[in-house]
Amino acid sequence: MPTIFVTDRAGSQHTLKVDNGLTLMEPLREIDNGIEALCGGMCSCATCHVFVTPEWYAKLPARHSDELELLESTECFRDGESRLACQVKVTDAIDGIKLTVAPEE
């Protein structure tokens, strides 16, 4: 069960244990000041935008073109950090990942 370290929109830190097979969207929408995930993971709203630390970003599977297109349409897009939480699967490979919830648009 991987552990993820999250800084929420208010700047508070959370340490979450997450089941493999979920996406990062599920735990992040349960915390206070987390993500909205309005489209429920359909890669069409960008309200699950997070900034992954660069060292962890490099370890994640690459973004698909539709994820990148949506992220680039946001005001706070950061190349090399921005991901949609709904498009990142939770596996043992991301145990210890550090991320921050992006500002509300």
Q: Are strands 97-101 and 3-7 parallel, antiparallel or unpaired?
A: parallel
User: Based on CB atoms, which residue is closest to ligand FES, 42 or 58?
Assistant: 42
The closest residue (CB) to ligand FES is 86
User: Under the criterion CB under 6 A, does residue 88 sit at the interface with ligand FES?
Assistant: no
Shorter beta-carbon distance to ligand FES: residue 7 or 74: 74
Tokens of 2: 């991987």
Q: What distances in angstroms separate CA 25 from CA 12, 35, 40, one per listed residue?
A: 18, 8, 8
Which of these segments, 10-18, 43-51, 74-82, 95-103, binds ligand FES (CB under 6 A)?
Answer: 43-51
Residue ranges of alpha helices (H) inside the chain are 25-28, 54-57, 65-72
Told to check if 99 binds ligand FES by CB under 6 A, we report no
Give the angle subtended at the CA of 26 by the CAs of 88 and 16, to the nearest 5°: 90
Q: Is 47 in the site for ligand FES (CB under 6 A)?
A: yes
- List residues near ligand FES by CB under 6 A: 25, 37-39, 41-48, 84, 86
